Amino acid sequence: MSKIVDPFTLNQWYAVRTENKNGPDRTHRTRLLGVDIICQDDENGQVSIRRLDRTESQDSELPSRKRYGLVWTSLGMPESGIFEMPETEEEGRRHFVWDAVTVKTSGLRAIENFLDLAHFPYVHSGILGEEPLTEVTDYQVERINNEIWVKDCSFHQPKAAAIAEEGIHVNYIYRVPHPFVSILYKTCPLFPEKFDVIALMVLPREEDVCDIYTTASLFDNVNTDVEILHFQQKIFLQDRLILENQVPKLLPLGGRSEVSVRADAASIAYRRWLLDNGLSYGACTG
């Protein structure tokens, strides 16, 4: 490990692979917090995970869990299990797990961008936002059980989801249960009283490189899986261009080097929460 990882970061569960993806010999190699790790499937589909920086077999064995279509592990001692997403169990939803896209920036920058409404008309112009409807109305930010909740967000979106046929007013709720995970509940164009659930699960490979897994539980009875994939990837890769061009790559937590306004309340709350929990991995002062 190139840097001492703070306990808050170390003791989390991280998605390191999709359940069904596998490489040659049923192994998958990746990196977690600067450590090389290897996932190995046995005949029954059980996944064992080892870290490759330790030689003694008992020291190199890592915990392994399957959840939300992903394989999870931890380099530390997680205090609890993987966070719950009970909404996804609702009947009629279609579940998606999209394999990782690598982004050369801190995973924290990716989560912060996910919590941001103000960029929609510019970065996702014509899809998630459009000039001149750029105003971000006031929303609520709360801390509940050491999670961040962002509520009462709303935004006009020309094409809120693959299934949206016209612009609609969309309500958003964000939840941050983990420094590298954010869950979004947004108005479903098909059933305006229901929410689609989209989650970003970030694997910090290094402080300034991450793999981003996305899961979704949607109501959509029209589009094919591939059409929905294309819709999501288009949006996601528009964000990647931004993320790779933010300077510095590490997220500043000091509140001095980046100017914030009220529309950034979610970002400010997220940064403060990271700081209060003693996080330093992928972050910088300033």
Partner 1 sequence: MKLYDYILSGNCYKIRLFLSFLDINYETVPVDYYPGREHRFPDFLEINPLGQLPVLVDDEVKLRDAQAILIYLASKYDTSGRWYPRNPEAMGKIAMWLSFAGTEIMNSSNARLHDMLAYDLDADKARANAHAAFRILDDHLVEVGFAGQEWIAGTQPSIADVACFPYVALSRDGGIEHDDYPAIQSWLTRIQSLPRFIDMPGIHFMK
Partner 2 sequence: MSINFNKYHWFAFYASQQIMPAEIRARSMWNTDIAVWREENGSIHAWKNRCPHRGMRLSYGFIRGSQLVCLYHGWNYEGATAQCSYIPAQPNLKGPKTACVRDFACFEKHGLVWISTVAEAEKEPDFSDFGEAEQTIHFCRSIFVNESPGLVGEILKTSIFIPYGNDLADGAKLKIETSQAEHHQTGANYQAIWQSGRDKKKKTELTCQTEVRNNAILVNHYKDDQGNEGSLIFALLPIDDKKTGVHVLFSGDFSSQSLTSAKRHYAKWAKRMRWSIENRNLQTDSFNPWI
Q: Which residues bind partner 2 (CB under 8 A)?
A: 116-119, 121-123, 131, 134-136, 241-242, 245-248, 252, 257-263, 267
| Partner that binds at residue 102, options partner 2, partner 1, none, CB closer than 5 to 8 Å by kind | partner 1
Contact 49, 63 (CB under 8 A): yes
Q: Are 240 and 123 in contact (CB under 8 A)?
A: no
Q: Taking CB under 8 A as the rule, does residue 18 contact partner 1?
A: yes
One of 11, 22, 60, 238 touching partner 1 (CB under 8 A): 238
> Binding residues for partner 1, how many (CB under 8 A)?
27
Name which of 166, 203, 202 is nearest 182 in CA terms. 202
How does DSSP classify residue 187? E
Q: CB 283 → partner 1: shortest distance, Å?
A: 23
User: Measured from the CB atom, is 20 or 245 closer to partner 2?
Assistant: 245
Residue 186's alpha-carbon distances to 38, 98, 124, 151, 219, in angstroms, are 35, 19, 16, 11, 11
Q: Which of 237, 254, 257, 277 binds partner 1 (CB under 8 A)?
A: 237
Instruction: Give me the amino acid identity at 209.
Output: V
Per CB under 8 A, 130 contacts partner 1: no
Candidates 191, 241, 237; CA nearest to 218 is 191
Q: Is 104 in the site for partner 1 (CB under 8 A)?
A: yes
Cβ 248 to partner 2 shortest distance, Å:
7
Starting at the edge strand found earlier in the chain, the sheet holding 147-157 runs 94-103, 209-218, 195-206, 181-187, 168-178, 147-157, 140-144
Q: Which does 262 bind (CB under 5 to 8 A by kind): partner 2, partner 1, none?
A: partner 2
Closest C-alpha among 52, 59, 57, 68 to residue 14? 68
Choices 98-106, 137-145, 254-262, 276-284; region in contact with partner 1 by CB under 8 A? 98-106
Residues 133-172 that bind partner 1 (CB under 8 A): none
Cβ-proximal residues to 142 (8 Å cutoff; 6+ apart), any chain: 148, 149, 151
CB-nearer residue toward partner 1: 48 or 233:
233
Q: Which is nearer to partner 1, 60 or 223 (CB)?
A: 223
Rounded least distance, CB 157 to partner 1, Å = 17
Nearest in space to 140 (alpha carbons), one of 170, 100, 164, 171: 171
- Cβ nearer to partner 1, comparing 21 with 95: 21
What would the DSSP string read from start to end of 139-180? Answer: -EEEEETTEEEEEEEEEEETT-STT--S-EEEEEEEEEEETT
Residues that bind partner 1 (CB under 8 A): 18, 21, 98-102, 104, 122-123, 125, 211, 224-227, 229-230, 233-238, 240-241, 244
